[in-house]
Structure 1
Amino acid sequence: MTAYARYVALGDSQTEGLGDGDDVRGHRGWADRLAEHLARAEPGLRYANLAVRGRLAHQIRDEQLPVALELRPDLATVMAGMNDLTRPGFDAARVAAAVEDMYAALTASGAHVIGVTFPDIGRIVPLARPFRGRVLDLNERLRDAAGRHRVALVDTYPMTLFTDARMWSPDRLHASPEGHARFAAAVAHALGLPGSDDAWRRPLPTMPAATAWGTATAELRWVATFFGPWIGRRLRGRSSGDGRAAKRPELTAWAQSTSGTSGSS
């Protein structure tokens, strides 16, 4: 097992940690949880999280990759492309090329890189079923890019666990604390970290089947509470990340973390 001393996370809202905390107390998220695990193997771990919510793949490449390369990580995680999937004019080849640029540059710098494919969003958000073909296309390209650059890939699409509603926050756009914890455990397992195993794969306990009325009511509530505002931002050309910066833009010792967004909280 390799001990990693410099971990840099690149990405959007999932890597920033939305769904696991809030804007007042701070967001934890899977990358912070992974840093906790890494720090148990390497107490001197230094960690940077460059992710910013709402960012598209090319923005992550253009804004975060140069910073990441300057930080000289020995481990980097790249999660990019989900925000692109629902945009008009989506081009899987272009999105995958932006991700591959990051894979290529980071691996060439000597970093071990972890990538990810995306789950079947149509099983998480029924209104997103028309985008299933886009997910399949992008995922296949991401797998090919990972193979070309020897990137370790956490392939979530085949796993029904990652479409369980309990793995997602009420907005269905961001992982829940359980989802963030499971994904962090999946990455730790992929890295072979001490104490990691495949327990993250275990399905959650079976829940009673929802009634048709309950399902319809939940869908209407979700549309009014989350989908409507999301569409409104798109129509106004706004992003949830406008005016925001990375929560952890520099490599700092994990032991120095004191907030709810970092450390062992």
Structure 2
Amino acid sequence: MAAPGTRAVPGPVPGGSLRFAVLGDSLSEGVGDRVGGAWRGWAALLAEGLAAGGAATEVRNLAVSGALSADVEGEQTPRALAFRPHLASVVVGVNDTLRRTFDIGLLARRLDRVCADLDALGAVLLTACLPDPGRMLGLPPPLARPLARRQRSVNAVVHALSARYGAVHLHLADPAWTDDRTLWSADRLHPGERGHRAVAAGFHELLAARGLAHGTPPAREPAEPAPTRADALLWLATAGTGWVLRRSRDLLPQLVLLAGAELRHWADGTGTAPLDARADAALAAALAATMGR
């Protein structure tokens, strides 16, 4: 296990290239940044500035929209290990918070195994904490609070694992990211081109500070025309509607139950304290079990 900030990315062998594996969900797949009819995203933008002198960077983007931590561990990680990356990004967790089966202890163990396996190969890890979807969607408090509580727990696990494995960590849950709506696409959950460029530039700056990025930083200003209001409305009426319907089958029933618990505690005068304490206890147990091994 590498001490934080001490590992150097191996240089590409003659005739070879720097290998960058991308694990995660729609954020890393590139959703929100469409170029030439396909998703591009922050990882592809970052890859352009990793190596100096025009040296190649081979990107293996394994991220899939809707992926859970179980998918990253069971499906994406074996493929990443076979690729033997020099760099590997692991950014996942929001979809776990949207499931009835959310279990912070299970998520922590999965992410720890993923990070440990990649770290054992000598890969430098890239991680990020993420904004909670309830805030991004502007949900009313009884619906937003349960999601915020879950995302805070996920971010705490990611912070702990990032420190453990010396990961390059980007704070995407900070207000500077979440409050700037020019960074986000029409769905309010995925970055637009400006947002993906900001993520790429943020990672590049952190990598360069460690001496791990040697190329030109990604440009921050969009190269593609910004979506018009008509484009946004069309997305919401077509692809956006499909996204809502898919999520409603597993998210909405769970959110109704969680909101009901919130309202019951408010009605009996206890507020959110018991629910907060329960989440804190589950997080503490998850961190103790994971970090104590």
Fold equivalence (TM over 0.5): yes
Paired letter, 2:135:
R
* Contact in 2 for aligned 1:121/1:163 (Cα 8 Å): no
| Letter of the structure 2 residue corresponding to residue 146 of structure 1 | S
Unaligned runs of 5+ in 2: 1-7, 13-17, 221-232, 251-293
Tell me the equivalent position of 1:163: 179
The root-mean-square deviation of aligned C-alpha atoms, in Å, is: 2.9
Q: Alignment partner of 1:37: what SS?
A: coil
Provide the residue aligned with 1:140 in structure 2: 156
Separation in 2 of the partners of 1:222 and 1:160? 26
Question: Counterpart of 2:26?
Answer: 13
The higher-RCO structure (CA 8 Å, 6+ apart) is: 1
**Residue type of the partner of 2:103?**
D
What do the CA deviations read for 1:59-95 (whole angstroms, capped 9, x no partner)?
A: 1110010011011111111111111111113122222
Correspondence 1:30-69 to 2 at 5 A: 30-40=42-52, 43-69=55-81
Matched to 2:99, the amino acid is R
Distance 1:27 1:119 in 2: 21
- Is residue 92 from structure 1 mapped to residue 104 from structure 2 by the alignment? yes
How far does residue 224 in structure 1 lie from its aligned partner after superposition?
A: 6.8
TM-score, length-normalised on structure 1?
Answer: 0.72
- Farther-moved stretch of structure 1 (32-41 vs 76-85): 32-41
CA deviation vs aligned residue, 1:177-236 (integer Å, no higher than 9, x gap): 000000001111111124449x97xxxxxxxxxxxxxxxxxxx99987677533422455
Q: How does 1:98-247 map to 2 (within 5 A)?
A: 98-127=110-139, 129-130=144-145, 131-192=147-208, 193-194=213-214, 195-196=216-217, 229-234=242-247
Runs of 5+ in structure 1 lacking a partner?
201-219, 238-265
- Looking at structure 1, the residues matched to 178 and 204 of structure 2 have their Cα atoms a distance apart, in angstroms, of 16
Identity %: 35
With the length of structure 2 as denominator, give the TM-score of the two structures.
0.66
SS at match of 1:90: coil
* Aligned residue number for residue 77 of structure 1: 89
Partner residue in 2 for 1:208: none
Aligned length: 217
Once the two structures are TM-superposed, the CA of residue 120 in structure 1 deviates from its matched residue by 4.0
Q: CA deviation at 1:16?
A: 0.9
Native 8 Å contact 1:10 1:77 kept in 2 = yes
Between the aligned partners of 1:133 and 1:19, the Cα distance in structure 2 is 26
Whether 2:59 is the aligned partner of 1:25: answer: no
CA separation in 2, counterparts of 1:95 and 1:178?
30
Question: 1:118, 1:155 within 8 Å by CA — same for their partners in 2?
Answer: yes
Structure 1 residues 41 and 221: alpha-carbon distance in aligned structure 2, compared to 1, 3 A threshold? same
Higher Cα Rg: structure 1 or 2? Answer: 2
**Relative to 1, partners in 2 of residues 1:221 and 1:73: Cα closer, same or farther, differing over 3 Å?**
closer
CA distance in 1, matches of 2:54, 2:112: 29
In structure 2, distance between residues paired with 1:85 and 1:28: 25
1:17–1:29 CA contact under 8 A, matched in 2: yes
Residue aligned with 1:116, SS: strand
Cα 1:29/1:91, change in 2 over 3 Å: same
| 3-state DSSP of counterpart to 2:196 | helix
CA distance in 1, matches of 2:53, 2:100: 44
Distance 1:40 1:18, change over 3 A: farther
1:138 partner amino acid: V
For the residue of structure 2 that corresponds to 1:174, the secondary structure is: coil
